[in-house]
Amino acid sequence: MSNLIGTELTDFKVQAYQKGQFREIRKQDVLGKWSVFFFYPADFTFVCPTELGDVQDFYKDFTELNCEIYSVSEDTHFVHKAWADSSDTIGKIEYPMIGDPTGALARFFGVLVEEAGQALRGTFIVNPQGVIKAYEVHDMGIGRNAEELLRKVQAAQFVEEHGDQVCPAKWKPGQATLIPSLDLVGKL
């Protein structure tokens, strides 16, 4: 897997399920705001609904940061609807659930496990210009933490806005940042 930091999104056109409706999503639809592409292996599974529900619990916080969440699996948008209709957890999701049955998005982001036809748990933070600024990839059995994802989006936004400052470990908005300089070398 090659490094994706600084990579611009490829053109894409996919179908999604969102709040009782099907909709088409293209690259141009995600530009102009922050985005998180949240890949997971499959609908109707075990860890996946806990993660998607966790992201929904913080969804309002993401939208207040001008950030849209796009969950993505290799299922179709029809399967997403069926899952939402049958699961209380998934039925509450407000963000778009992208169907990627051809694997095009998962392949672009480098998370498609071809022989399984599923995606690893990949999380990608994309800036308003469509450039990947942060990402992490987990094995299929390791769930993620939406609160930490929110913190990473906040840090990515801060660094983009304040190019001369960087965010130390566990940084949260309002806490001290660092200004890289010769004076800090060996002092931290």
Tokens of 32: 């102009």
List CB contacts of 101: < 8 A, sequence separation 6 or more.
74, 75, 76
What secondary structure does DSSP assign to 25-89, as a single string? EEHHHHTTSEEEEEE-S-SSSSHHHHHHHHHHHTHHHHHHTTEEEEEEESS-HHHHHHHHHH-HH
CA distances from 24 to 14, 18, 96, 165 (A): 6, 10, 10, 38
| Catalytic residue (choose from 25, 48, 132, 155) | 48
Q: Is 67 a catalytic residue?
A: no
**Residues identified as active-site:** 48
